[in-house]
Structure 1
Amino acid sequence: MSEMAGRQSVEGEIPPVGGEGAPARGPAELVQVAAIARRFYLDGHSKVEIAKEFGLSRFKVARALDAARESGIVRIDIRLPALLDAERSDRLREAFGLHHAIVVAESGDPLQTRRQVGTVAADLLSEIVTPDDVLGLTSGRTLEIMCAELTRLAPCTIVQLNGVISDHPNATGPVETVRRAAHISGGSAFPIYAPLVLPDAATARTLRADPGIAAAFGRFERLTKAVVAIGGWDEQTSTVYQTLGPDERARYAEMGVRADMSAQLFDAKGEQVHTDLDDRVLSVRAEQLRRVPEVIAVAGGAAKAEAIGIMLRTGLISSLVTDAAVAKVLLEE
């Protein structure tokens, strides 16, 4: 018999019984133990039902089940789909005190691994989002995959948490992501039709006052769950970095910036680095995310391992979906 999350197999052969010096069991006892194990593990009968059938006490049924496991008549294997790395998931959850830690096994192909991380994140959202949740979504390539893979979502409100990258070839990505998620859930969508980074604070203030944008910002304090992306401070892993000029990039790096999340900048210790960028972005603030009961980071790739570790140290993240390459680095640290 085989199941996705676990398997109990009751073997017909009589295995070696007990360890060295253990009393040998006769064939009649072995047959009875196997029959009791079959009733319990394969047929789903309760211990009370089995005790009645065999004319035994519940205590003796429990002893027989223990004997079945100890002797090897019953072998219990915990199995997950090959896509998931169960051991690293559990170790990561425990090491960082996370609500959920889902680690995707390495595929050998970075693009395939990213798609798998996005797919698993979609499955996690389908599992944990409940009716009447207010779900916030930031932008990112893996988050776009996540929403593309969504097939079901409880009725909830979907809020975009930051503006779009205006010079990005897929500049409407976050808007489409929010609208697709809302369509699947049947809930309301609150997109932000504006750039993430503005040239100055005055322009940002003006746009925040726009009724449509204000409607999204007004729901940041009501968030019950949020899904965020993480970037390092380099051109390959950070969309914020990509929007800035060389002087700004270098200046923020000199201030100690090593990671970003929702256009909020952080140093190697996980402390937020406040810059003039704070007033020039259309994005949820770190202090607002800190009040959200469930913040799920969806990020993978060995190049982001340092940044993901930094963000875990901030205390802003309660759950993480990542890949085995990242998990290996984090656990070694």
Structure 2
Amino acid sequence: MDIFEENQDSELLTEIAVAYYQHEQTQEEIAKRFNISRIKVGRLLKKARAEGIVEINVKYHPIFSSRIEQQFLQHFNLKRALIAVDHQDETEQRQQVASLVTNYLSTLLKNGMTVAVGQGRNVAAVASHIGVFPEKQCKFISGIGGTLRDGEFIDADHISRNLARKFNAASETLYAPAYVENRETKHVFMQNRVIKETLDRARKADIALVGLGDMNENSYMVQLGWFTPQEITDASINQGVVGDIAGYGFFNLQGHSVDTVMNDRVIGLSIEELKQIPCVIAIASENTKAMAILGALRSGVIDVIATSASNARTVLNLLKNQP
């Protein structure tokens, strides 16, 4: 596509977006006006959102959000609970949660701060969120080594670089793989001076941005080949593991750390090291993660939780039924 065609495409997307969102025309009306199908109108509106022509920030009524947050603050030692509106589409849900985290991070960041960055789709959604970011003289640093997944940039280094670009800040790479085959290999990497110094700086971070995972046989950890489905199942059934913080720190429903065979394969900050960071922001947008959220909140590691209203209500209901 040449520049002229790109401009035409962008103009069409803008016209359709204005007609739908500003002039409140129906998709049927827009289809007739532009002589295209209603299905194509829907696709173009989705493309307008994806390309940043349209940015949607949906919020609950402040009283509703405040009530949920206050209940969380009463039960857990939290600074904030960021509750996003529910959405059936998983990608849209992730973006809604990411929007809240981005706004909060923008107000929290101060010059001179360091942010330890985790991995995963929820943290990546924060880094890819479209918006205007205040310039900060701070540093984003990888809190876990690198990984690769076709078609998705979910590794900590990629996320850290994206965040640094948005805030016109600095970024530091952890020059190590996230996953190794055994404890001995991990020990060798952890003795490397460059790796040790980077992790030491990550341990002293002011903020950590991490994802929460659940014990799912189809999780990206299994898809990456880090752990087998059998190992995930064994940790869940036999050891009571309900989730992980940052992709590898495993815990049970009571929030206690669980020592699994998986703990000795990942190079990154441990749960205990994350606990020493003043503000740990944990993100869990998927509606399968209520149990993981509850366990993580009980661990004492999390200072700010970002999730959906559906997850928040489920967590509160679990509290009523749990001793």
Query: Is the TM value for this pair above 0.5?
Result: yes
Residues 7-26 of structure 1 mapped to structure 2, 5 A cutoff: none
Cross-structure match for 2:113: 133
Q: Which runs of 4+ in 1 moved over 6 A?
A: none
Structure 1 position 152 matched with structure 2 position 133? yes
Could you say what secondary structure the match of 2:244 adopts?
strand
Q: Which has the larger radius of gyration?
A: 1
Cross-structure match for 2:35: none
- 1:232–1:105 CA distance, 2 compared to 1 (3 A): same
Could you say what secondary structure the match of 1:292 adopts?
coil
**CA–CA separation in structure 2 for the residues paired with 1:219 and 1:145:** 24
**Aligned residues of 1:166 and 1:195 also touching (Cα < 8 A):** no
Structure 2, gaps ≥5 residues long: 1-56, 319-323
Q: Deviations over 1:124-160 (max 9, x none)?
A: 1101111111111101111111011264252212111
Cross-structure match for 2:3: none
- Taking structure 1 as the reference length, what is the TM-score of the superposition? 0.69
Could you say what secondary structure the match of 2:289 adopts?
helix
- 1:247–1:331 CA distance, 2 compared to 1 (3 A): closer
**Aligned residues of 2:217 and 2:232 also touching (Cα < 8 A):** no
Could you say what secondary structure the match of 1:135 adopts?
strand
**CA–CA separation in structure 2 for the residues paired with 1:99 and 1:215:** 30
Q: Deviations over 1:277-333 (max 9, x none)?
A: 322211101111111111111112220111011100111101111111101111222
Structure 1 position 309 matched with structure 2 position 291? no
Could you say what secondary structure the match of 2:305 adopts?
strand
Q: Deviations over 1:8-40 (max 9, x none)?
A: xxxxxxxxxxxxxxxxxxxxxxxxxxxxxxxxx
Choose which of 100, 104, 110 in structure 2 pairs with 1:120: 100
**Aligned residues of 1:220 and 1:288 also touching (Cα < 8 A):** no
Provide the alpha-carbon RMSD of the alignment.
2.2
- 1:107–1:170 CA distance, 2 compared to 1 (3 A): closer
Choose which of 247, 250, 261 in structure 1 pairs with 2:233: 250
Name whichever of 302-311 and 166-175 sits farther off: 166-175
One-letter amino acid matched to 1:94 = Q
Name whichever of 295-304 and 84-93 sits farther off: 84-93
Name whichever of 213-222 and 163-172 sits farther off: 163-172
Choose which of 167, 180, 184 in structure 2 pairs with 1:198: 180
**CA–CA separation in structure 2 for the residues paired with 1:307 and 1:300:** 11
Between the two proteins, the alignment pairs up a number of residues equal to 252
Residues 67-146 of structure 1 mapped to structure 2, 5 A cutoff: 82-84=58-60, 85-146=65-126
**Identity within the alignment, %:** 23
Residues 1-333 of structure 1 mapped to structure 2, 5 A cutoff: 82-84=58-60, 85-149=65-129, 151-153=132-134, 154-166=136-148, 169-170=151-152, 173-236=155-218, 238-242=219-223, 243-253=226-236, 254-262=238-246, 263-333=248-318
**Aligned residues of 1:298 and 1:321 also touching (Cα < 8 A):** yes
**Aligned residues of 1:166 and 1:196 also touching (Cα < 8 A):** no
Structure 1, gaps ≥5 residues long: 1-80
- 1:207–1:167 CA distance, 2 compared to 1 (3 A): farther
Name whichever of 123-132 and 90-99 sits farther off: 90-99
**CA–CA separation in structure 2 for the residues paired with 1:185 and 1:167:** 26
- 1:151–1:170 CA distance, 2 compared to 1 (3 A): same
One-letter amino acid matched to 1:194 = A
**Aligned residues of 1:136 and 1:160 also touching (Cα < 8 A):** yes
- Quote the offset at 1:205 in angstroms: 2.3
